[in-house]
Amino acid sequence: MLRAMRLIAFRELWAYLSAPGFWISLASVPLFMLLGMSAPLLSERAAPVRHFVILDSDAERAARLAERMEEAYWREARSALAAVVRIAAPDKADDVLATFDADPSQAGLDAAIQQVELFRSGIARGFDAPRRQFVYEPAPADSIDGLRPFLTGDQKLPSGADLFAAFVIRTNADGELSAEYWSENIASRDLRETMSGALLREARANAIRLKGLDAAAVDDVERVRVNITDYKPSGTGENGGSTVSLRDRLPAIVGFFLAFLLFNAILSSAAILMSSIVEERGNKILDTLLTTAPLQSILLGKLLGVASVSLLMIGVWGLLGSLVSFGAVQAGAIPQPVIEAIWQPGLFLAFVLLFIAGYVVFGSVFLAIGSTCETLQESQSFMGFAMMIIILPMMMLIPALQNPDAGYIKALTWVPIFTPFFLLVRLPTELSLIEWLGPVALLLAFIPLVLWLSGKLFRAGALGEVRASEILARFGQKAKTGAPLPAE
């Protein structure tokens, strides 16, 4: 039995290794990841720079608005810096940001980065402020009519740039601000939205001034920030706890990623298993196999073979990821602490075990269903329903990541077919013993039951006692192909 199982598993593995589709799948994930990672960077670099002018009878106000637009840019730069520094040097993040906050400008940013460089952090050392999207230009004319040739692109600005938009700022008799936005491009709203924020600040400052308060004092008040630091009470650091950084949250993200990987692996394995068994069922190779090996050997051999395909893929991706990470650390592109935060041996071990459990459960069901089908069309009718069952946990994964203790997420973790997905996301959240051991025990108890039921259906399907075409016909679906007569 073991010999037959090994031979069948090896044949399945070899069949997929020799198919171009396998290599395409193998290459596609790293390629798409690379594309996904570089997309924001490419998008930022591809975004055009918008040059704008402000027409305002109050020159001081126009200058203030331009200044507020500048502030908006540096707020964006601060967010980017904070995201990087909190990963690269979480212990010094507050100091670095305080340095920047003291002087939110290029000089302040340089000073802040200089501070991080002392810690030799790769990302921070290579940090660049976001590309400036909006550039204020002195207006080359004092009316819209005068600006029109610039706005339509017939004339360049004195700086040589194209004028993207002009804001005309007015004040009514009651001192209320209003603005006109002039641009040939009505689709892009980013500049308009940013100026809207600057105008709101100016309007509020104006309103405060009208009430007799000092505008400069108002500006100072507006710049006041409150930092909230997260602590974990179970830690032993300051205040009887330890601070929480993105590094603490990374394992949960890794868990989410692994759950997603599990979903992908099961999805692709299911398709492989189904098509494989349908081919063998359809052309009676299964009949020949049944005379050469016990049914259990065929079932387990196929499961093992396709699992090897998936594990091989995951292994190659893992190895590739490790090599890239190692190279990135060596090159200083990724700080060591980030890798340490991602590399969770316990979580990866759990992934392997949950992958095997999840794969056996879903794989055996798909194999059993496939054994009743004689054509791929028939199998697809069942795949639709089966896919809905797999997609359900996928839809819940992000809520599970955001709120792993929600009642329904906890409940779904106990459903054996969903356990592998939700447990991976919830494991890094320090579950109690019963919360992880309970669902795992239930899952382990569920596996023999599923294998037994699948074995029964597989046998009935393989022997032609249960036919998908008949089941579909009962559900009112027209079977795509006629079933042969039972006798011959």
Q: Cβ 280 to another protein, closest distance in Å?
A: 8
Q: Which tokens go with 442?
A: 């239930």
The reply on whether position 4 binds another protein by CB under 8 A is yes
The CB-of-374 to another protein minimum distance in angstroms stands at 10
| Span interacting with another protein, options 57-65, 172-180, 279-287, 378-386, rule CB under 8 A | 279-287
Binding of residue 485 to another protein (CB under 8 A):
yes
Instruction: Name the one residue in this structure whose structure tokens are 């029109």.
Output: 148
- Matching residue, tokens 């359900």: 392
Q: Select from 36, 212, 407, 486 the one that contacts another protein (CB under 8 A).
A: 486
Q: Which of 282, 321, 438, 455 binds another protein (CB under 8 A)?
A: 282
Alpha carbon distance 477, 417 (integer Å):
27
Q: Which two tokens stand for residue 225?
A: 């920030």
Nearest partner of 5 among 323, 209, 302, judged by Cα: 302
Nearer to another protein, 7 or 329 (CB): 7
Q: Quick one: tokens of 201? A: 């600040």
Residue whose CB is less far from another protein, 199 or 293: 293
Token pair in block for residue 144: 């819209």
- 3-state SS assignment for residue 53: strand
Instruction: Name which of 91 and 470 has its Cβ closer to another protein.
Output: 470
| Residues 470, 251: Cα–Cα separation, whole Å | 48
| DSSP helix/strand/coil, 55 | strand
Give the range of 3-11, 101-109, 175-183, 395-403 binding another protein by CB under 8 A: 3-11
Q: Helices 59-88 and 190-210 sit at what angle, rounded to 10 degrees?
A: 120
Alpha-helix runs per DSSP H in 283-375 = 285-292, 295-330, 336-342, 345-370
CA distance 9 to 308: 8
Q: In this structure, are residues 470 and 483 in contact, taking their beta carbons and an 8 Å threshold?
A: yes
CB of 383 to another protein, least distance (A): 22
Does 482 help bind another protein (rule: CB under 8 A)? no
C-beta separation of 295 from 455 below 8 A? yes
Binding track over 211-250 against another protein, x by CB under 8 A: ----------------------------------------
Would you call 297 helix, strand, or coil by DSSP? helix
Give the one residue of 210, 217, 285, 352 binding another protein; rule: CB under 8 A: 285
Tell me the site size for another protein, rule CB under 8 A: 28
Instruction: Map the footprint of another protein across residues 16-35, applying CB under 8 A.
Output: 18-19
**Looking at 463, 473, 477, 481, which residue binds another protein (CB under 8 A)?**
463
CB of 424 to another protein, least distance (A): 34
Residue 267 C-beta: closest distance to another protein, Å: 22
Chain residues binding another protein by CB under 8 A are 3-4, 7-8, 11, 15, 18-19, 279-280, 282-285, 287-294, 463, 465, 485-488
